[in-house]
């Protein structure tokens, strides 16, 4: 076991904790942790993050299931729809140049930061129209 | 939509799914978080083989993933247990600040 492995455990600990508390699935922490911390190329970081997210989500998800926090119908519905999108997204991600993918991811991080800090701020008076 | 972002960006897609549930399905935040966590499982299961097999060199490092997992499983367990006792607002602002800095870095120096 190397120092890198220990640092990875530390990053995982943080990601897992946040996934269990604010439900961000870990990937949002894993990817910048790998690209900025480990200087790993964007697509490799994303693929690795997705692999690491599976057991994290299983553990967090099962804990929540046991506590009755999960709406099963919604989980099935979103999971099924998400599978199609995931396949398309992954096919795009492996073809796009790494630097462009990193920029897209950066924009997504900014958006995520905004969403976390100001959740559900807009559309208080506007009619809610599904996009 | 959550899945598309999940596959494209290597994140679970919770960032689309959680607000979607809270805003449109009027689900409580905690329930939305827990539900998206479960929905992420099939999304990641579909995306990983594509990252691994689609290119000549696999875009998945299982060694690194393993150590991330070891840490995150422990972290997720404590996170879920402490969910009801955590200063959620402060935690969110802290995380938002860090993600903002990381996003800025990726945009300017990808």
User: Using N-to-C axis directions, what is the helix angle for B88-108 and A3-22, rounded to 10°?
Assistant: 130
pLDDT for A44 equals 92
Of residues A45 and B109, the one with the higher pLDDT is A45
CB contact under 8 A, B110 and A15: no
Report yes or no on A123 lying in a domain: no
Report yes or no on A125 lying in a domain: no
Looking at the structure of chain A, the number of domains it has is 1
| pLDDT band at residue B4 under the 50/70/90 scheme | low
Residues spanned by the domain of A34: 3-117
| pLDDT band at residue A122 under the 50/70/90 scheme | very low
User: Considering CB atoms only, which of B3, B18, B68 is closest to A8?
Assistant: B68
pLDDT, tens digit, 9 for 90 and up, residues A46-63: 999 889 888 877 877 888
Q: Which of chain B's residues have a Cβ under 8 Å away from the Cβ of A76?
A: 39
The chain B residue lying nearest A23, using CA atoms, is: B33
The chain B residue lying nearest A64, using CA atoms, is: B34
Q: Are B82 and A21 a contacting pair, CB within 8 Å?
A: yes
Report yes or no on A27 lying in a domain: yes
Of residues B110 and A45, the one with the higher pLDDT is A45
| pLDDT band at residue B60 under the 50/70/90 scheme | very high
Q: In this model, does residue A126 exceed pLDDT 70? A: no
Q: Are B72 and A25 a contacting pair, CB within 8 Å?
A: no
Q: How far is A39 from chain B (nearest CA, A)?
A: 10
Q: In this model, does residue B1 exceed pLDDT 70? A: no
Report yes or no on A131 lying in a domain: no
| pLDDT band at residue B61 under the 50/70/90 scheme | very high
CB contact under 8 A, A21 and B14: no
The ipTM estimated for the assembled molecules is 0.81
CB contact under 8 A, B110 and A61: no
For the residues A64-75, what does the mean pLDDT come to?
A: 87
For the residues B45-73, what does the mean pLDDT come to?
A: 89
**Cα gap B59→A86, rounded to integer Å:** 15
Q: How far is A37 from chain B (nearest CA, A)?
A: 10
Report yes or no on A127 lying in a domain: no
Widest pairwise Cα distance in chain B: 47
């Amino acid at each position: 076991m190397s120092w890198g492995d220990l640092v990875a455990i530390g990053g995982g600990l943080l990601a897992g904790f946040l996934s269990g508390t604010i439900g961000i699935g870990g990937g949002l922490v894993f990817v910048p942790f790998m690209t900025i911390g480990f200087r790993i190329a964007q697509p490799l970081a994303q693929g690795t993050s997705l692999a690491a997210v599976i057991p994290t989500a299983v553990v967090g998800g099962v804990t929540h299931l046991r506590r009755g926090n999960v709406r099963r119908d919604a989980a099935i519905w979103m999971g099924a729809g998400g599978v199609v999108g995931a396949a398309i997204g992954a096919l795009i991600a492996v073809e796009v140049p790494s630097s462009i993918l990193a920029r897209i991811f950066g924009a997504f991080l900014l958006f995520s930061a905004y969403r976390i800090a100001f959740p559900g701020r807009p559309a208080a008076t506007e009619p809610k129209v599904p996009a | 939509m959550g899945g598309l972002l999940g596959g494209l960006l290597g994140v679970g897609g919770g960032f689309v799914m959680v607000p979607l549930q809270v805003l449109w399905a009027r689900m409580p935040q905690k329930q939305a978080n827990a539900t998206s966590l479960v929905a992420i499982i099939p999304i990641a299961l579909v995306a990983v083989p594509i990252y691994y097999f689609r290119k000549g060199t696999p875009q998945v490092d299982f060694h690194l993933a393993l150590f991330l997992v070891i840490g995150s499983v422990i972290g997720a367990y404590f996170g879920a247990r402490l969910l009801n006792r955590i200063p959620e607002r402060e935690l969110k602002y802290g995380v938002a600040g860090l993600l903002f800095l990381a996003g800025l870095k990726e945009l300017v120096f990808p």
